[in-house]
Structure formats: C-alpha cells, structure tokens
Amino acid sequence: MIPELGYGALVVGVVLAVYGALAAAAGAHTGRPALIESAQHAALAVFTLVTACFLLLAGALLTFDFSVRYVAQQTTLGTPFYYRVTAVWGALEGSILLWAWMLALYTLIVVVRHRGERDLYPWALSVMLGIIAFFLLVMTIPAPPFQRLLPVPADGRGLNPLLEDTGMITHPVALYLGFTGFTVPFAFAMAALMTGRVGDAWITTTRRWTIVAWYFLSLGLLIGGWWSYHVLGWGGYWAWDPVENAAFMPWLTGTAFLHSVMIQERRRMLKLWNISLVILTFGLTIFGTFLTRSGVIASVHAFSQGSIGAFFLTFLGLVLLSAFGLLAWRWDLLRAQGELDGILSRESAFLLNNVFLVAAAFTVFFGTVFPLLSEAVRGVKVSVGAPFFNQVNVPLFLSLIFLMGVGPLIAWRRASIDNLKRNFLGPVAIGVATAAVLHLVGVRSALAVLTLALALFTTATIALDVLRGTRARLRTGAGVVGAVTSLLLRHNRRYGGFGIHLGILLVALGVTGSQAWSVQTEATLKPGQVVELAGYRVRFDGLSAVQESTHARVVGTFTVSNGGGAPIVMHPSKKFYPHEQAPIAGVDYRMGFREDLYLVLGDFARDGSEATVKALVNRLVSWIWIGGLVLTLGALLAIVPDDKRA
C-alpha cells in the first residue's frame, strides 16, 4: 500500500503545485484576488501532501517494509530506531523529499506572513510553487522514494555506515534549511523583475529570510566539518571535496549578498549586482544538488544516480536563463542611482568584500569543475586538490578578515583622516603588537602570525565599538548590564553582525591553529609499549571484540598520560560492516581548548599481540565549534524583530 499511496500523493502534488504556480501568476497578472487565494490553497495542499509522503516513508522505514525499495536499501533488521528515522533523508530519494518538504514549509510561511499583499507576493508565490513542482516531479520520475521492490528481500542492505552518526539528524537538516531558504529571496527578486518594482521592497521583505538561510547554511557547513572530524578519522574537518564545495559556494555568494544589500538600502546603489547575487546564490544551491546527485564529478560522498542529473541540469538551465533573461529585460530599471563618493568609505569596503567573496566562489567553482574541463578540452583526467584551493583562497580570506574590521567602522561616503585615526589607530596598534608578541614567543609560521594579528585587529575594532556604545549609554545613567543589553537590542542588526563576525574569527583561529601547529605520529605497538607525542604517552593495553546490531567492532584499549593528572583510557576502534569492503574507523578523542588528542586504530594482529595506532594532537580545533556557537548567538540577535526602532 505504502508505495502506491506515496506515489499517488506525489503525482497529485505535482499537479497542484503546477496549478498553484499558474494561478498565482495569473492572479498577479490580472489582479484577481480569487486566483491568488486559490494558489494559496494549492500551497497548503502541497504542504499537506509532502508531509504525508514524509510520514509514509518514515512509517515504512520504522516498520521495515522491505517492499519499498528505498527501505531495503537504507535499513537492515538490525538498524536501530534512531537511524531508521534519519534514513528518511539518508539517501538520494529521501533527501529530495526532505528538500521538497522544507520548500513547501517555507512557502507556507511566506503565505501566512504575506497574504493580502498585492505587489510582489503573488509572483513570489508563483515562483516558489514552480520550484516545488520541479522537486516533486523529480520524485515521480528519476528518483522515486516509493518504488516497489519485487521480490521482497528477507533483509535490507543498510544505511551507509558512515552515516550512522548523530550528526546525521542535524547536518542535512541545517544544510537543507539553508539551501532551500535562499529560494525565498530568489522568489521575491524574480517578483521584483517581473513587476519592474526593482527598488528596495524585495530586499527589505526578504532580509530576515536571507539571514535565516545563511545561518542554517553556515551551521550545516560547520556540522559537516564536525562530522568529518569525528567520523572519518583522518583528523581533518574540511577537504575541498566537490560536495563540500557545493555547499560552500552559495555560502560565499550569500555572504556577499548579505553585505551588498546594505549598500542598496543605504545608498540606492548595486541593484543589478544584488539581483545577480541572489540569482547566483540560488543557482549555486541547485548546482550543488546537481553536482552531488549526477555522478558527473568524483567525490567521496556523492550519491551518484542515473537520469536525475539531466533533470537537475535542465532545471538549472531554465532557472539561470530565465532569471538572467529577466535581468537583461529590466536592465534600464536596474541602473544604479547612487555614485561612489570616495575610495576610503564604507561603500568601497563592502564592494571589496563582495569582490573577494565572489572571487573565492569563482575559484572554488573553477577548481571543482576543472577536472571536467580538462577532460573535455584535453582528454586528460586530473583531480584538483586542497593545495590549489588553499593557495588561492587563503589570501582572499585574510583580506576578508581585514575588511571585517574596517567595514563596520569606517564612515559612509568618504572617511576623513580623523575618522580613520579615531577608529583604527588603537586596533592597528593591537594587531601590530600581536604580531610582535607572537614573533617574540617563537611563532615562526608567517601565515599564522598574519592571521592572528588580523583577527586581533578585527576583534579590537568590535570591542572598541561596543565599548563606545556602552559608554554613551552609561552617561544616561543606566547600569553596565542594562547599558549593554539596550545597546545590543536597539542596534540588533549591527551587533548581531558583530557576533557573527566574532564567530567567524574564532573559526579562523581554529583553522589557523590546526593547520599551523597540529602534530601526528603513527606506531605499531605490542601490549605495554608506549608511543610519545607532544607530551602525551600513549600505551597500548590490548584489543577486544564487540558485536553491535549492525556491525562487529574491534576495540583497542590505550592508556594515555600527560605529565601530571590521572591517566585516561581511550578506545579507538575499527568497525566491520557485513556489506562494506573496508572497515570504518571509530575515532576516540579528548577535546580541549588548547588541543585535542585524537586516536585512530590502524591495522592489528587478530590475536591482539600487535596494533598500529595513529595519534594526532590537533591544536585549537575546538575553537571552530565554539565559533559556531558564537555565530549562532549573533545570528539570533540579528533576526530579532527590530520594529521598535521604527
């Protein structure tokens, strides 16, 4: 029953979404409210149907209904409850379902918040329903989650073991909330082009949406890094894999967009640029989906599958051609009104920030598709790795950290020498002092010195600004806590942005520390033997075997002492899954503010007489995750409704 019900719901969903898109467009065109209302009902119905599909698939997974192909692929009778739930989006078909569900949810929220509006909203609704129709269509033809499997097997294959991790509930959900979230600003931008109302309305309407989408995308990226760090067992968190790049590119252009809209709001400049950025960001989310699902580019964690690639490519083509086509059509309306007054101004700081972010997005794009380009043009298979991406991006990111300090404090229009002195003399001194101190204490990595000096400079600009704001409020007689709170809430956008900047700086600290100062060693030990690394003594005590519900596990016992303090026992392991060729690492780690100790079990003798262990001391990595928390607080502050200022 489940396959038929699910498939039926999807087909009805496609029809309703197409109908809703057409009705909303017709309503927008003719101005007949009844048509728009009908489209709203369609949006509600689509949401209900997609939710039903979601529940059906979850039900099939929870009850081990192996007559559904997807269930047989993603679970075995031993799969625990938790992973049967996450299996709903653990593979291609289900991930599209999650995507469609989020789109339907966002559409519903847009309807609830904007119904009754008559200028941009009907067109935006039409665009969103059209996009949903595409995703539902994908689930009826190339990637059906509800396909029957005959004959019904006795047991299933099981989830990809790498996905048996608690991060599986948060990472895809956050990432997809980010990806799909950019649909809303895109839809309103398209509405602006169609109606010719290309002023600020679409930007102010979608400002909070953009921050929400951007925040979830950031969170998804960070959780992805966390997953990579504690599951994959190579000690890193980012590898410039095409799938990671696919999520990073819209983040870069989305970040550029968040900044450039401020110039449009303030100075009426960059209309064309902002619309282009939002098209690009949305296009890159679709491109990412295409990349990870078409099998066009080799990647560690791509879900490669047949004809779905052609569907996504066609859709991507349609989106880009029509969106940029509309842009060309409205060209004359989009010409800027404002002019750049001075080189030393906040506008130019933001413009530079945009140039660097878009350049970074372009280099990541270029590096990602280069293997394809090389094969097409020269017939040579190549792969582009971390060295390329690091080399081109590190200077861009360092410049961005610097601009992060300059942008928020420098004056609009034209900065005077006085303004520059007042705002930057202190922070520059702090940055230079940092570099000097680091050099004196023996830090020899020029890159690390530069990054930390720039980060401290930027932190100082933020501190200076908060300090000034608080002092001004203290003069009015408020207490310190009251003064800070009222400052943050009153200018929540500004200080939310600062919070996000601090979060990014902490991430940069973690990345710098782990790149510059991490050390590792590998040793084959007999029981009782010790390997030493950076002050840690790691003793091999023995091996044991454990049978889990989905796999067998060989567990090593290692006693770790670090000078003083009681020794701790760590258990890195190797997991053997019946259907996987290679065992999977079970990392054990102890996190700290200064460093993490990270143990990976390598080869071992079956009788436990010998085992190879890889030990890593990863410096400052925890600050990446702490940065994520700070970023979350900043984003929350930035999306607090700021009506009271009006």
Partner 1 sequence: MWRWLIPLSVVPVLALLAYGFRVNPHEIPSPLVGRPAAPFVVRAFDGTEVSLAGLRGRVVVLNFWASWCYPACYEEAPALERAWRTYRDRGVAVVGVAIQDKPEASRKFIADFSLSFSNAPDPDGKISVDYGVYGVPETFFIDRAGRIRLKQTGGVTDELFRAEIEKLLGEPA
Whether residue 500 contacts residue 635, with contact meaning beta carbons closer than 8 Å, is answered with yes
- Ranges within 131-170 binding partner 1 (CB under 8 A): 149, 151, 153-158
Report how far residue 545's alpha carbon sits from residue 522's, in angstroms, rounded to the nearest whole number: 22
Nearer to partner 1, 70 or 214 (CB): 70
CA distances from 146 to 132, 187, 293 (A): 18, 30, 18
Smallest distance from the beta carbon of 102 to partner 1, in angstroms? Answer: 25
- The residue among 298 and 546 lying less far from partner 1, judged by its C-beta, is 298
Cα–Cα separations (whole angstroms), residue 128 to 26, 75, 100, 381, 382: 15, 33, 11, 39, 38
Min CB(202)–partner 1 separation in Å = 19
Q: Which two tokens stand for residue 467?
A: 């300090």
Cβ-contact 101, 54 below 8 angstroms = yes
Q: How far apart are CA 213 and CA 639, in angstroms?
A: 11
Smallest gap from residue 195 Cβ to partner 1 (A):
19
Q: Please choose, out of 366-374, 399-407, 481-489, 506-514, the segment that lies near partner 1 by the rule CB under 8 A.
A: 366-374
8 is a site residue for partner 1 (CB under 8 A) = no
C-alpha pair distances (Å), 562 with each of 291, 539, 587:
45, 11, 19
Rank residues 285 and 470 by Cβ distance to partner 1 and give the closer one: 285
Quick check: 479 binds partner 1 (CB under 8 A)? no
Among 142, 178, 371, 556, binds partner 1 (CB under 8 A): 371
Which of 274/470 has CB closer to partner 1? 274
For partner 1, which is the closer residue by CB, 375 or 522?
A: 375
Q: Which of residues 549-578 bind partner 1 (CB under 8 A)?
A: 578
Nearer to partner 1, 384 or 640 (CB): 384
290 binds partner 1 (CB under 8 A): yes
Distance, in Å, from the CA atom of 32 to the CA atom of 27, rounded to the nearest integer, reads 5
* Binding track, positions 291-330, relative to partner 1; x by CB under 8 A: ---xxxxx-----x----xx--x--xx--xx--xx-xx--
Which residues inside 58-117 make contact with partner 1, applying CB under 8 A? 69, 72-73
Helix, strand, coil % over all residues of the chain, rounded to 5? 65, 10, 25
Binding mask 260-279 for partner 1 (x = CB under 8 A): ----------------x---
Nearest to 45 by CA among 21, 18, 16: 16
Give me the phi and psi of 284, to 5 degrees please. Answer: -70, -30
Task: Say how far apart CA 616 and CA 604 lie, in whole Å.
Answer: 18
Residue with Cβ nearer partner 1 (151 or 563) = 151
* Binder among 5, 141, 373, 480 for partner 1 (CB under 8 A): 373
SS3 148: strand
Of the pair 381, 644, the CB lying nearest partner 1 is at 381
- Return d(Cα 395, Cα 392) in angstroms, integer: 7
Q: Which CB atom, from 310 or from 472, has the smaller least distance to partner 1? A: 310
At closest approach, how far in Å is the CB of 628 from partner 1? 32
- Residues 248 and 500: their CA atoms lie apart, in Å, by 17
- Which residues contact partner 1 (rule: CB under 8 A)? 69, 72-73, 149, 151, 153-158, 276, 290, 294-298, 304, 309-310, 313, 316-317, 320-321, 324-325, 327-328, 331, 369, 371-373, 375-376, 381, 578-579, 581
